[in-house]
Structure 1
Amino acid sequence: MEKTLRLYYAPDNASLCVRLALEELSLPYDTVLVDRSVAAHKSEAYLALNPNGLIPVLDTPHGPLFETGAILMWLAETQDRLMPKQGTLDRMHALQWMIWLANTLHPSLRMMFYPTQYADDDPGPTRKMAATRVKSQMDLLCAAQTVDWLEDDHPSIHACYLAPMLRWAALYGGGDQWFDLNHWPRLYAFAKRFEARDSARKAAAAEGLGATPFSHPSPCHPPEGSAL
């Protein structure tokens, strides 16, 4: 690529998924902190990059790209890695589950974390409904037969997307009062395997996520910025 990629990020936000992929691909990149403590993601300058006012943005040789799923898929396509070959049955299933992560699981988590964005009055019922949805979606994922990437020693963009979402569910949705990853042994094994990779260790160190960021997550202590 003719210029270094630039990741606009906040610690332990959706930008973590992209950082994991960049590290896995060994691509050179710079980071720009989007300081959520002063609502920098709603600033005029940031909205020029992502009019949705959401994190992340990846500045590419062709201009800024937003939407976590789109960024991950673009990286996989331009590098010809982390996704099965086009035209194969594995590719069909990979696309299916990538869209599921972006359009089904991630929105359910957002609804649980930010219920006031979805309910005009008491956010409690919205959060409870979202928690129920997340649990059923974890059940579905664990039982699925076309998600080889959960056991694959070679990571995928799916792994980069899912691992942070397992972390967020445990930390930001009520903790072990409702979410215990041990309830889904397949997902727990995935989290343990993925966090042992060099790419995950580098990302965890950069954002202060601790030694077991996905299997036994603890609140992050980033060297800069805030997760909230």
Structure 2
Amino acid sequence: MNSEFRLHYAPDNASLCVRIALLEMNLTFDPVLVNRKQRAQKSAQFLAMNPNGLIPVLETPDGPMFETAAILQWLADREQVMMPPQDSPARVPALQWLFWLSNTLHGTLRMLFYPDQYGADDPEKLRLVTRARLIAQLDLLENATTAPWRDGDTPSIHGCYLAPMLRWSALYGGSTDWFDLSRWPHLQAFAKRIETRPAVIAAAKSEGLGSTPISAPSPCVPPEGSAL
């Protein structure tokens, strides 16, 4: 393996956000499969890189990194692309939305997907409450006026992060009959637009995500490994 980066990934996991960003930035990387069925993310070797035991990890020239948003911001700042520079007024809302995607939206999705990990006596009841929270958060993003990355054609780390989360919302929330992306026209347009980008097409092919992976997703059929 001769690439500058090694992406420890599992299909259709948070590593997908980083894969898309690396492809958008034309950075070469070696994908390293983390076998979730064997709980390889809890192995001593993996925990030495990410003590949380969560995917992804990106090995960099500066050492291994974990936390999706941190990896995305580090890549953007290093390459000086896909994020406003530090001296730009646009940096403030860009940072706000990046941390919102990480702390708020992604946090809600984790609760939706893994209610048993939150000590829920009734996981389905928690899922119902969490779905309502997710809908309110997507309503907020749909109506935002400070998120130009949502509507533009220029790639951003925000788009790399949001696109997989829209996909997961439709597939992994306990059922598929409650989520309708057409409720949010701006987000639906974003989904249709970003899945035509070469980086997303390449990522979808690598992980078996189908031809409409964001706007009308189908279950992951990866060439190797498992999403769950």
User: TM-score, normalising length from structure 1?
Assistant: 0.97
Provide the residue aligned with 2:158 in structure 1: 158
SS of residue in 1 equivalent to 2:90? helix
1:30 and 1:54 map into 2 onto residues whose CA distance is: 19
- How far residue 101 of structure 1 moved from its aligned partner, in angstroms, is 0.2
2:205 and 2:120 map into 1 onto residues whose CA distance is: 39
Give the letter for the 2:49 counterpart. L
Give the letter for the 2:126 counterpart. T
The answer as to whether partners of 1:150 and 1:190 remain within 8 angstroms in 2 is yes
1:139-218 matched pairs, under 5 angstroms: 139-218=139-218
Q: What CA RMSD, in Å, does the superposition of the two structures yield over aligned residues?
A: 1.1
2:3 and 2:77 map into 1 onto residues whose CA distance is: 17
Give % identity. Answer: 60
- How far residue 211 of structure 1 moved from its aligned partner, in angstroms, is 0.3
1:3 and 1:113 map into 2 onto residues whose CA distance is: 33
1:19 and 1:71 map into 2 onto residues whose CA distance is: 11
2:119 and 2:189 map into 1 onto residues whose CA distance is: 35
2:173 and 2:120 map into 1 onto residues whose CA distance is: 20
Q: Deviations over 1:125-146 (max 9, x none)?
A: 2111111110000000000000
1:143 and 1:119 map into 2 onto residues whose CA distance is: 33
Moved runs in structure 1, 4+ residues, more than 4 A?
Answer: none
Provide the residue aligned with 2:114 in structure 1: 114
SS of residue in 2 equivalent to 1:105? helix
Instruction: Structure 2: state its 5+ residue gaps.
Output: none
- How far residue 120 of structure 1 moved from its aligned partner, in angstroms, is 4.2
1:18-33 matched pairs, under 5 angstroms: 18-33=18-33
Q: Deviations over 1:139-161 (max 9, x none)?
A: 00000000100111111000000
Provide the residue aligned with 2:97 in structure 1: 97
Provide the residue aligned with 1:60 in structure 2: 60
Provide the residue aligned with 2:11 in structure 1: 11
2:194 and 2:119 map into 1 onto residues whose CA distance is: 35
Deviation larger for 177-186 or 162-171: 177-186
Give the letter for the 2:129 counterpart. M
- How far residue 80 of structure 1 moved from its aligned partner, in angstroms, is 0.1
Give the letter for the 1:147 counterpart. A
Residues matched between the structures, number: 227
User: TM-score, normalising length from structure 2?
Assistant: 0.97
Instruction: Structure 1: state its 5+ residue gaps.
Output: none
Q: Deviations over 1:28-69 (max 9, x none)?
A: 100100000111111111111100000000000011000000
1:34 and 1:130 map into 2 onto residues whose CA distance is: 28
